Amino acid sequence: MDAHSSVIQVNGLTKTFRVYRKQPGLAGAIKGLFHRTYETIVAVHQISFNIQAGELVGFLGPNGAGKTTTLKMLSGLLYPTSGSAQVLGYVPWERHDGYRRQFALVLGQKNQLWWDLPARESLELNARIYGIPRERFERTVAEMSELLAVRDKLNISVRELSLGERMKMELIASLLHQPKVLFLDEPTLGLDVISQKTVHEFLRQHNRTRKTTILLTSHYMADIQALCERVIIIDRGQIYFDGRLEDIVDRFADFKLVTIHCDDAAACDAARLSAHGDILERAPGYVRLKVKRERVIPACKALLDQLPVRDIDIEEVPIEDVIRQIFAR
């Protein structure tokens, strides 16, 4: 990708934290008064990537991988230990007003709305802060609340809203000033399936119509598969993969799943089947095999020739299983 035309440019970004390691017990506490032991934790280690205008990129990794730390550096909340980054031509941690008016950060576990006030009042406060004209404010809130199905909840106290309704209001608050870049950290955490789907559709439409550049972290593969063509996988603070989501299967899953149904259960014996792949499941008249990609076609042909096969199904390994295997490594 052309780094010069990128909206987000990250080069060798590193963040370390110095933490105090307390010895256990009272003796350890007293000892710590006179001699402290510190340890350096590397949260992010020399990561580099570029994101173009209008891209919706998934940022994946297990807990503690460095995802949220990266988003906080890109939004200017944390200073890096070393390396550089530019978003919309600005250095995020310099916190220029011009930059802060053009991006938004949504943390799934943090609230920006006033807890005891109706959501509309918090939205009106944000509109005043960003200098949004009244007519544009009313139009934007009406459109977004309609798309997110929370128009009838705007005048209800935030503390009385469900988790899904609160997250939808958080999205409206973050997008009220129509930012060019949106950082989303676990936006569907704890949401029910219906709310997740509503948020997916809203983000997809917003990205398509507004061309907003979105960097999304999530533990839910449903989020990533529904929204992202490109993913960046980070683990132990380092980038492990950066590319198209569909390429993950091609690169890290060198087999497919073949399921056959036989009319004659006795004919589907283990010895004959294991010659074509690893048996994952077996029941009377039903077998599921793991077959190497390059062997799928000849294996299926042999199975159809040798066995009384009633039905055969070939499928890719589920993306979430592949990601789980990558993290396990």
Looking at the predicted structure, is the pLDDT value of residue 7 above 90? Answer: yes
Q: Do 79 and 193 reside in the same domain of the chain?
A: yes
Contact in structure between 116 and 158 (CB atoms under 8 Å)? yes
18: tokens are: 């110095």
Q: Do 155 and 45 reside in the same domain of the chain?
A: yes
Contact in structure between 324 and 233 (CB atoms under 8 Å)? no
Query: Could you tell me which of 119, 108, 112 has the C-alpha nearest to residue 199?
Result: 108
Query: Could you tell me which of 191, 116, 194 has the C-alpha nearest to residue 156?
Result: 116
pLDDT tens for residues 269-288?
666 777 888 888 887 778 88
Q: Do 324 and 236 reside in the same domain of the chain?
A: no
- Of 227, 249, 271, at which residue does a domain stop? 249
Q: Do 227 and 286 reside in the same domain of the chain?
A: no
Count: domains in the chain: 2
pLDDT band at 2 (very low <50, low <70, confident <90, very high): low
pLDDT tens for residues 40-95?
889 999 999 999 999 999 998 888 888 999 999 999 999 999 999 999 999 999 99
Provide the domain limits for residue 74. Answer: 3-249
Q: Do 244 and 262 reside in the same domain of the chain?
A: no
- Of 226, 249, 272, at which residue does a domain stop? 249
Q: Do 239 and 271 reside in the same domain of the chain?
A: no
CATH of the domain at 90: 3.40.50.300
Q: Do 258 and 245 reside in the same domain of the chain?
A: no
Contact in structure between 317 and 255 (CB atoms under 8 Å)? yes
CATH of the domain at 293: 3.30.70.100
**Residues sharing a CB contact under 8 Å with residue 173, sequence separation 6 or more, in sequence order:** 112, 113, 119, 122, 123, 126
- Of 228, 249, 270, at which residue does a domain stop? 249
- Strand, coil or helix: what is 321? helix
Q: Do 219 and 262 reside in the same domain of the chain?
A: no
Q: Do 237 and 258 reside in the same domain of the chain?
A: no
Look up the pTM and report it.
Answer: 0.80
Q: Do 123 and 173 reside in the same domain of the chain?
A: yes
